[in-house]
Amino acid sequence: MVKKIAVYGNYQAKVPIKQRYWIKRKDGIKQRYWKKTKRLKKVTMSGRYEFHGKGKELYKAVVKAHHIVPKGFIDVSAERFLKEPEEYGFEGSWIDRDIESR
Amino acid sequence: MTETSNPAKPILGYTDTETVKLDFDNTTFRTVKYWALKTMKQFKLEGFIILKSSKNSYHVVFNRTVSWSENMSIVAWVTLLTGFEKLSKWLIMQCIKQSSTLRISSKIEKPSPRIVYRQGKEKGQICNFIYYRKLIKNIIRKLEST
């Protein structure tokens, strides 16, 4: 079975602010929608990568994971992550904040 | 919660489904050793190692390869008998993730776990654990030197 390296913790990243707006539907009901704006806000979140693969690829993936923080819980092979890191995460920085065992 | 000005790093750990692992917090070494021995005998787990992660915090890794359902059943048995709240929290987290993880790298004010006790066979999952531990430690060393 697969053995994995877990890379986890808290991070800070800039994410687009979502704006709320209302549209009146044909049936008369006002429906709420959200749209992504270009404005960014700094948020603190937690996330986790789980990498599997060969030693060299694992090393490269862990190095890359220091700058590209995960979009939630990501279970991916190191090779695939190295090919398309933006698909699994976005730019941000990890922060030292006490996190419980996971 | 504490934050430092140094560039922070993520925590690195070892994850799999077929190794029985236990995470004891706020527990003395004597108690950890007692429960590790009892679990090993009860489920014929062949051997175990104890790692000290910080003061009164220990990790236990067993040798025999098990299925995920057997793994969780063993951890649940220990949790039920010991009644340790932190262990039950850890168990719930592992059930949600569907794989169990133990920390290898250091954490804020906590050094990386070190082996303090060995008993029984080590050629099964303990061998795999030690291999990955070395791999992760090498990665950390390389990262620190660059």
**Any idea which residue has 């791999």 for tokens?**
B135
Which residue, among B22, B25, B39, B43, has the nearest Cα to B94 in the 3D structure?
Answer: B22
Whether the pTM exceeds 0.80: the reply is yes
The CA–CA distances, whole Å, from A81 to A53, B51, B69, B88, B130 equal 11, 31, 29, 33, 25
A76 lies in a domain? yes
Residue A65's closest chain B neighbor by CA?
B10
CA atoms within 13 A on the CB side of A24: 1
**A73-77/A30-52 β-pairing:** parallel
Kindly state the average pLDDT of the residues A19-35: 94
Q: With a CB-CB cutoff of 8 Å, which residues 3-62 of chain A face chain B?
A: 3-9, 11, 50, 55, 58-59, 62
Q: Is the pLDDT of residue A61 over 90?
A: yes
Residues of A in contact with B12 (CB under 8 A): 5-7, 62
Domain residue ranges of chain B, discontinuous segments joined by +: 13-145
Q: Give dist(CA A34, CA B3) in Å, integer.
A: 33
Q: What confidence score (pLDDT) does residue B110 get?
A: 87
Q: Which of A48, A43, A47, A56 is nearest to A16 (CA)?
A: A43
Dist CA B94 CA B121 (whole Å): 25
Whether A68 maps to a domain, the answer reads: yes
List, for residues B10-59, the tens digit of each pLDDT value.
Answer: 999 999 999 999 999 999 999 999 999 999 999 999 999 999 999 999 99
Mutate to test the interface with A, among B4, B6, B9 (most CBs of A within 10 A): B9
Return the CA Rg of chain A.
18
Query: Does pLDDT of A98 surpass 90?
Result: no
Asked if residue A102 belongs to a domain, the reply is: no
Indicate whether A47 belongs to any domain: yes
* Residues of chain A positioned with their CB less than 8 A from the CB of B132: 3, 5
Å from B34 to nearest chain A CA?
22
Question: Does B6 contact A96 at a Cβ distance shorter than 8 Å?
Answer: yes
Task: Answer whether residue A100 is part of any domain.
Answer: no
Closest chain A residue to the Cα of B142, Cα to Cα:
A59
CA A92 to chain centre: 9
Angle B29-43/B68-82 helices, nearest 10 degrees?
130
Query: Is A2 within 8 Å of B90 when comparing Cβ atoms?
Result: no
Q: Which domain holds residue A60?
A: 5-95
Helices (H) and strands (E) in chain B, counts: 4, 6
Collect all residues of chain B within an 8 Å Cβ-Cβ radius of residue A8.
Answer: 10-11, 13
Question: Where residue A83 falls among pLDDT bands split at 50, 70, 90?
Answer: very high
A97, pLDDT greater than 80 = no
Count of structural domains, chain A: 1
Label the pairing between strands B57-65 and B47-54.
Answer: antiparallel
| Residues sharing a CB contact under 8 Å with residue A32, sequence separation 6 or more, in sequence order | A20, A21, A22
How far A67 CA sits from the closest chain B CA (Å)?
10
- Domain contains A86: yes
Collect all residues from B whose CB is shorter than 8 A from any CB in A.
Answer: 1-4, 6-18, 23, 25, 89-90, 93, 97, 99, 101, 103, 107-108, 128, 132, 135-136, 138-139, 142-143
Residues A53-62: contacts with CB under 8 Å, at least 24 apart: A53/A77, A53/A78, A53/A79, A54/A78, A54/A79, A55/B135, A57/A82, A58/A5, A58/B135, A58/B139, A59/B138, A59/B139, A59/B142, A62/A5, A62/A7, A62/B12, A62/B139, A62/B143
Contact between chains at A100 and B8 (C-beta distance less than 8 A) = no
Topology, domain B13-145: Replication Protein E1; Chain: A, (3.40.1310)
